Amino acid sequence: MKTKILCIMMLFTCFATHAKSLELRPLLKDRFEQNCAIRQQYDFHNEDTELIASLEHYTVDVKYVDKQVYDSTTYKLKNVTYAGIPIRKIEFSFGRPAQQYNEYLYFDLSATAAKQRFKTLKFNQNHEKGDVSVEYKNNTAIVQCYWLADFPK
């Protein structure tokens, strides 16, 4: 009986700890809604380009692609939101010919409330070396923020 109670308590603790979601807007609003080129380096990465722990805990799967003209790392996420809208994936890529950095957020717009919240977001950019684009595929909005590698410090 004590073993069962202990197991139930451990399961509850595990679910309670992982149930907390990560809200990205306070961390990424400056890049996605104001100036993509605000920081030269990728977000959520250390100086060795390794993913930092704060996002690692919310990563379900990782896909890395290394091609001649670009490389890309896509992280499938759980319990991650931006302005309360679920984020399915975040992607970081680098295009070699243009020397262009890219960050993508994949917004899950399958719920009506998510669609309404997404419409209120303003992805404005006012910088000559960076820009943002929005693409829609089924119930997903893909927001790409890109900037050139020669951004002066």
Tens of pLDDT along the chain (153 residues) come to: 433 333 333 333 334 445 699 999 999 999 899 888 888 888 887 766 677 778 889 999 999 999 999 999 999 999 999 999 999 999 999 998 889 999 999 999 999 999 999 999 998 776 777 889 999 999 999 999 998 887 455
Give the whole-angstrom CA distance, residue 153 versus residue 150. 9
- pLDDT for the residue numbered 105: 97
3 state DSSP class of 31? helix
- pLDDT for the residue numbered 102: 93
Q: Provide the 8-state DSSP code for 34.
A: I
H or E element at residue 104: strand 100-108
- CB environment 118-137: b (16+ within 10 A), e (fewer): beebebebeeeebbbeeeee
